[in-house]
Chains A and B, each alone.
Chain A
């Protein structure tokens, strides 16, 4: 080993060793994990915030919400968190013992935070102690302050643990039992949240799977009397997926959110001691925002229902709160949603703080908390409901909030971070955010995209002169009365060329996401009262576009060399007015969607993209937009012709290394399936008889002039091809694994001769002669098309030796 090699080895090892595990972002998967492992999607993705956007597209409704209000004031406080058991969700505070109880689902434990020490006034936030809950996956927690009892729903085992709050709390664990008394719910696991009516000592448990609410008599099943815990609770039928639940202590009305709205239970006759009146609901209120959290401000007679669609709905508890024995008629007009407020993404739990007239709403996807003023947005005064409340950042995936009046603190459960954020509610509320955290806790994953944001918005808006001197202008037009031109890097295929190039608008440069080529890219420019959106779709064919909620106005669409469609359009409002958008695009060959979440914006620059994700696939319907908003483009301009290329990677390793060897040893174990000549060279195609499908050919190979050449040995790719350099000439060959009558087209730096095609094993084998040495092609694209399907495969090439396959350095495809 030379001195240089020794120094390099030493430096690399030292640099690698210097990165300690503790230096890495804290991830739920990091470190010891106890209890059973359930790799739920959200848990897995929570550490991968970039991935959250991927999930976001598939799972969550990205709903049009008004732009979030300004964040916390400058000079706001540092975030304060306390560690709890893994994947916490539910939380409740017992002021009598200064304890916040947190149900840690993955730890099968109840964590206890000392709120007298870990609060707004005191930052002694050591990791909370935990005790078992006697079941699995504890989620909901409630405290009955009258009986000093903590009730915990074990969702996995469908039980409710009964814990003595006086003897099992943050300062005294003498009464914490390894096996606390349990109330067994129905057979179908699914209960999650619960609420306690302290005036009647009744516990109401919403059972999501059973569609019911169980009613437990807390008078005989509590910390000091467990005689009634063995009795099967009465149940009341709610509807599909009852989830959040809260009690209005003033009217003894139980509010239960379910898939169709909010159900009311008359809690006066339907109590634990007498459940005969529980058979019938007092009424329901339709609410389409998918209730996920409920909080009651009994002074203002307002019920706040946060919904997964990104809103909080308001009910008037005087209209909806039932009198004893009253059954509200269907569609009772007075009991309705009186107002809705836009909050963050996928709000879950909420909590009302009467001291500051503030509703705290935990937004699980945007990792923040909205602070809504109950003074100006309540059941009788909805003037303030039109204003999107301020938010402040918390940890990853906040789920629920609890208020501790005694310590002026709000506790926010960060499920994916396994922490609880401690907030000073006296200085971080709807009236003032001076004391709100200005940044998320250390280690919190940011929803930054791996796509474009980090640089393009910073470098965008720069003078275009230097930039354009290096590139080629590929299209021009005008938008909103301003001329634009599109530039591509020379000698690079699309859409890579566009990604390395960019848009020039008004003499200023605006870039594209640079990375592995994405099928669908979108950027917004803050260009005044009407923003400008631009981007491209790398699928050939006439483009249809639809964006929500930011509708594209009169988009100008140009088809470029490589079949890439570029679009540019104005927006109805400022580009800063949209917190998130979803773009749908489709051509005859496929469709795609791209979801963007935006951060800050600055006049004349690209808007910061804080989250970006996309999905694409063959077929127009794969990710089609709602019909009415789709923009059909009849005047699409076409500049040049040919193909497209896209994402996904083949794995062509090794083929170039092992190609060109004598064929005899390989063909002995193979089956010949086709043969012919190409450019005067004899060829035969061989298949692996031991396997079937695409692998049959991939495991086999081509014999050309007695030499062996393989195919990409990666995941079976529907459209595969390779190049062989044959002493100054070249042969391209490949296999399309899908059935169908495929037309094969190859494009290098121009159209190439059509290869001959053969139907083999249900697929299409093709082979053709290149007009010059295979070594002269830096990139090539295969298009395999039937009347209904188009497969694309783009390759970039590296080293080249006579008689060998050309090394493939990059491989992208879509099918």
Chain B
């Protein structure tokens, strides 16, 4: 609790060292990471939760959580983006958990909006019926399958990278992806 007024100049260079427990250099790293990856992470989250505002919330929460970690903790050099993606995926899982609770109580389909994402996108292409079909079918897949497909076909990650990100074996990635594509094809009335 502050015992002195929190000056507008509390943002002076000298006070930056207290950035929520991270060491100054770590804080700089985090700020840079935020700038570099914010938009890409929002896109990733949006594809997983199908709702732009929620996706942005997820990213905010991820950075807030990282920033509030105990003093001295640092991101592992070179693994920052992987770590952030894992956090984003976990955050998206939380969103789906909450939605699941709502569904349990309220019944019906997912209340949050794939429609939101689609409606908010200006690109004509995303409004095309075909893409809507694909995205809707993707949204209906179980979370793990959806995550694997997004990481594979949106981020272009290898099976090993997906395995490392999701904490599963490459074999599981492979089988999950195959099953997910098969399920997607079935929903779309195609041969996988």
Contact = CB atoms under 8 A, between A and B. Distances in A.
A241 B105 contact: no
B190 A3 contact: yes
A515 B167 contact: no
A301 to B, nearest CB: 25
B31 interface: yes
Nearest to B11: A40
Given A12-B150, A18-B126, A290-B4, A455 B94 contact: no
Contacts of A61: 1-2
A45 B34 CA distance: 11
B11 A38 contact: yes
Contact of A308 (B6, B83, B134): B6
How large, as a class, is the contact surface on chain A? Answer: 35 or more
A787 to B, nearest CB: 23
Contacts of A7: 130-131, 134, 188, 190
A187 interface: no
B48 to A, nearest CB: 11
A224 to B, nearest CB: 30
Given A10-B131, A38-B16, A448-B57, A54 B68 contact: yes
A153 to B, nearest CB: 9
Nearest to B1: A61
B60 A514 contact: no
Nearest to A805: B169
A49 B126 CA distance: 30
Contact of B19 (A2, A41, A48, A799): A41
Output the residue of A14, A23, A43, A445 with the most chain B CB within 10 A: A14
B47 A18 contact: no
A757 interface: no
Given A29-B31, A139-B9, A192-B7, A4 B190 contact: yes
A397 to B, nearest CB: 10
Nearest to A42: B11
Contact of B167 (A240, A653, A804): A653
Nearest to A293: B5
Interface in B83-106: 83, 86-87, 90-91, 94-95, 97-102, 104-106
Contact of A808 (B97, B99, B167, B188): B167
A11 interface: yes
B5 A514 contact: no
Output the residue of B15, B64, B188 with the most chain A CB within 10 A: B64
A2 B20 CA distance: 48
Given A45-B64, A51-B61, A58-B20, A514 B12 contact: no
Contacts of A811: 167
Output the residue of B38, B120, B190 with the most chain A CB within 10 A: B38
A259 B4 contact: yes
A14 B31 contact: no
B47 A798 contact: no
A87 B164 CA distance: 39
Given A47-B60, A415-B8, A500-B100, A41 B130 contact: no
Contact of A208 (B7, B163, B164, B185): B7
Output the residue of A44, A139, A241, A462 with the most chain B CB within 10 A: A44
A693 to B, nearest CB: 13
A291 interface: yes
Given A51-B63, A657-B170, A399 B8 contact: yes
Nearest to A291: B5
Contact of B67 (A8, A21, A45, A466): A45
A58 B106 CA distance: 36
Given A14-B126, A462-B106, A514-B97, A24 B131 contact: no
A299 interface: no
Contact of B8 (A24, A30, A105, A808): A105
Contacts of B31: 29, 37, 39, 44
Interface of A: 2-5, 7-21, 23-25, 27, 29-30, 36-45, 47-51, 54-55, 58-61, 87, 89-90, 105-106, 137, 139, 155-156, 189-190, 192-193, 208, 240-241, 243-244, 257, 259, 290-292, 308, 346, 348, 399, 415, 445, 448, 450, 454-456, 459, 462, 466-467, 470, 499-500, 502, 509, 511, 514-516, 615, 649, 651-654, 656-657, 715, 798-799, 801, 804, 807-809, 811
10 contacts: A14-B131, A40-B12, A43-B11, A45-B67, A54-B65, A55-B20, A61-B1, A654-B163, A657-B170, A799-B168
Top 9 nearest A-B pairs by Cβ distance? A51-B64, A40-B11, A18-B121, A11-B134, A18-B123, A515-B94, A48-B60, A657-B169, A12-B154
